[in-house]
A = this chain, B = another copy of it.
Amino acid sequence: MKDKKLVDAITSRDTDFAKWYTDLCLKAELMDYSDVAGFIIYRPYGYAIWENIQSYLDKKFKETGHQNVYMPLVIPESLFQKEKDHVEGFAPETAMITTSGVEDLPERLIVRPTSEVLFSTHYSKIVQSYRDLPKKYNQWCSVVRWEKTTRPFLRGKEFLWQEGHTIHDNEIEAKTETLDMLETYKNLGKDLLAIPFVTGRKTEKEKFAGAEETYTIEALMHDGKALQSGTTHYFGQGFAKAFDIKFQNEQSKIEYVYQTSWGVSTRLIGAIIMVHGDDEGLVLPPYVAPDQVVIIPIQGKKEEVKNASNKIYQELKEKGIRVLLDDSNKSPGWKFSEYEMKGVPIRLEVGPRDLESNEVTLVTRHNRNKKQVKLDDLAVEVEKSMKEMHEEMYQNALNHVNKNTREAKTYDEFKKHLEKGGYVKISISGEEAEIKIKEDTGATARAIIDSDLVTEICPVTNKKAVQTVLFARAY
C-alpha cells in the first residue's frame, strides 16, 4: 500500500536524527530555506501550527489581564547599551541597519533581538503613580539574532515569538507573575502540544542577560537531548534603575518598579517534531494539528463513496473539527503515506464495503490503530479519539522523560548515565562544578529542581553540595 519512494525519502531516526529532522521539515512542507542563510520561510503547514499556539496563548494572556502592543523593530545602539549585563549578553549577535541606501544613518539601529530596552523606555514615560501599575504587555513579532549555526525552527537568524513584559509596584507580585507565566507555558505543553515540560530555575551561568532569576520549560527530544522551549525572567529593579522607571507609591514615596519578561517561540514547532515524530514522518498532537482529520475515499468514483465523503466532511466541519477531504485522483496508498508523513492525527477511510454496514475505518496516526466506526457516532468518535490520542501522546512523552532521567551519586556514574541520553540529576557545589561538567562532557545545566540532595558532597568538586540540578546535552 505504501509508496516506497516517498517514505524512503525520509532518513530514519536511528540512522541520522539530525538529517531525519531537516528532511521532515522540508518534506512535510513546514518550512523552506530562503536566499539568506538562517532566515527561513514558514510555509502554510508550519505557520498554521504556530497560529494554533498563538491562539491558545493569546487567549490565556488576555484572560489574565495582559494587553498586546507593538514596539518598533529597531533600537538605537546607544539605548541598547544602557543595561550592562543585557548588552554583554546580546552585543556579539545583533544585525544593524546603518544606511537608508542613499545616506548613512546618524546612529546605527539594532534590529531587535529582544525588546526589554524598548519596553523599559516606554514604561519610564507612561508610569507615574502606583495607580498606573501593574502594566502587563505582550507582543507577537519576529526578532533577529546573528547566530552562526542555524537549524530550522531550533535556531535561526530570525524567528517568531511572543515576548511578555510586565512591571509591578512590588517584588512579590512580579515574582508571582514570573511563576504564573511559567505555569501557563507548562499548561500549553499539557493542553496543546502533548509535551511534558520539566520546569525549574536556571543556574546563574545559564540565566538570561540582565535577569535576577530565569525559569525554564525544558523538553526531552526523542534522541535524548534537551530543548529549552521557553523562559520567564524576573528582573528585580535592574532595568528599572538603568531606564529610570519610577513611580510614586501609596505613601507618596518614589520607588523603582519590579519587572518581568517571558517568551516562547517557533522553536516549539521543533519540539513537537522531535518529541512525537517517527520514521514515517510527523506525528502531530491533535489539538495543535492544522488538519485534525483527513478523509480518504476508497474507490472514490463510486457515487455512494463520494456522497458519504462529502457528508462526513460537512458534518465534522460543522462540529468545529479541522478536516480535510482528499478526493484527488491519486491512489489511496499514496494518500496514506502522504498524510502519515504530514502527521495528520486521524485518517478516515471511506470505502464501499464499510459503507454497506454504515461504517468507516478510523486510523490514529500515533499508534496506527484501526477501528470500524458507525457513521451515526462519527463526530463523537473522532472527538473521543482525539482526546485519547492526546493523552496517550502526552503519556508516551512523559514515560520517555521518566525512563531517561537518572540520578548520579558519583561523577563516573554521571558520565555513564549521560551517554545513555536524557537528564542526569546531580547535586553540585555551584558554578565550578557546572563549568567542569560542561568542559568534560558537553552537558549543560538545564534546570535547578526542587528536590532533596542526591549526595551531601558534590561528586565533581568534592565540596559541599548546595543544589540539585538536571544536566543534559541540549540543542
Binding site for B on A (CB under 8 A): 32, 34-36, 39-44, 47-48, 50-51, 67-74, 76, 79, 91-102, 108-111, 118, 121-122, 125-126, 137, 141-142, 144, 146, 158, 160
How far, in whole Å, are A92 and B137 apart by their CA atoms in the complex?
35
Q: Knowing A98-B99, A100-B146, A118-B34 touch, does A160 contact B70 (C-beta < 8 A)?
A: yes
Q: Knowing A99-B98, A101-B92, A146-B100 touch, does A109 contact B47 (C-beta < 8 A)?
A: no
Which of B42, B109, B110, B122 meets A32, CB within 8 Å?
Answer: B122
Q: Knowing A35-B79, A76-B35, A98-B98 touch, does A41 contact B70 (C-beta < 8 A)?
A: yes
* Chain B proximity of A323: nearest CB distance (Å): 14
Q: Are B97 and A111 in contact (CB under 8 A)?
A: yes
Which of B42, B73, B144 meets A39, CB within 8 Å?
Answer: B73
How far, in whole Å, are A51 and B93 apart by their CA atoms in the complex?
32
How far, in whole Å, are A97 and B109 apart by their CA atoms in the complex?
9
Q: Provide a sorted-by-A list of 12 A–B residue pairs whose CB atoms are within 8 angstroms.
A: A34-B122, A36-B76, A36-B109, A39-B74, A41-B71, A42-B70, A42-B71, A44-B67, A44-B69, A73-B144, A95-B97, A96-B98
Residues of B within 8 A of A91 (CB): 101
Residues of B within 8 A of A68 (CB): 44, 47-48, 51
Residue ID in chain B nearest A34 by CB atoms: B72
> Lowest 6 A-B CB distances belong to which pairs?
A39-B72, A44-B67, A42-B70, A100-B146, A34-B72, A98-B98
* Chain B proximity of A40: nearest CB distance (Å): 7
Q: Are A101 and B41 in contact (CB under 8 A)?
A: no
Q: Are B47 and A70 in contact (CB under 8 A)?
A: yes
How far, in whole Å, are A244 and B121 apart by their CA atoms in the complex?
46
Residue ID in chain B nearest A76 by CB atoms: B35
How far, in whole Å, are A55 and B47 apart by their CA atoms in the complex?
17
Residue ID in chain B nearest A42 by CB atoms: B70
How far, in whole Å, are A102 and B144 apart by their CA atoms in the complex?
15
How far, in whole Å, are A407 and B116 apart by their CA atoms in the complex?
55
Residues of B within 8 A of A121 (CB): 34-35
How far, in whole Å, are A97 and B40 apart by their CA atoms in the complex?
17
Most chain B CB inside 10 Å of its own CB: which residue of A35, A118, A144: A35
Which of B42, B72, B102 meets A158, CB within 8 Å?
Answer: B72
How far, in whole Å, are A126 and B74 apart by their CA atoms in the complex?
33
Residues of B within 8 A of A93 (CB): 100-101
* Chain B proximity of A268: nearest CB distance (Å): 15
Residue ID in chain B nearest A40 by CB atoms: B72
Q: Are A100 and B96 in contact (CB under 8 A)?
A: yes
How far, in whole Å, are A118 and B73 apart by their CA atoms in the complex?
19
* Chain B proximity of A469: nearest CB distance (Å): 32
Known: A34-B122, A94-B101, A97-B97. 20 other contacts (CB 8 A): A34-B72, A34-B118, A35-B76, A35-B79, A39-B73, A41-B118, A41-B122, A42-B71, A44-B137, A47-B70, A48-B67, A51-B68, A70-B142, A73-B142, A74-B158, A95-B109, A96-B98, A96-B99, A101-B146, A111-B111
Residue ID in chain B nearest A101 by CB atoms: B94
Residues of B within 8 A of A35 (CB): 76, 79, 121
How far, in whole Å, are A441 and B270 apart by their CA atoms in the complex?
58
Q: Are A34 and B95 in contact (CB under 8 A)?
A: no
Residues of B within 8 A of A42 (CB): 69-71
Q: Are A96 and B101 in contact (CB under 8 A)?
A: yes
Residues of B within 8 A of A41 (CB): 69-72, 118, 122
* Chain B proximity of A124: nearest CB distance (Å): 11
Which of B36, B79, B97, B125 meets A72, CB within 8 Å?
Answer: B36
Q: Are A69 and B43 in contact (CB under 8 A)?
A: yes
How far, in whole Å, are A195 and B160 apart by their CA atoms in the complex?
33
Residues of B within 8 A of A92 (CB): 101-102
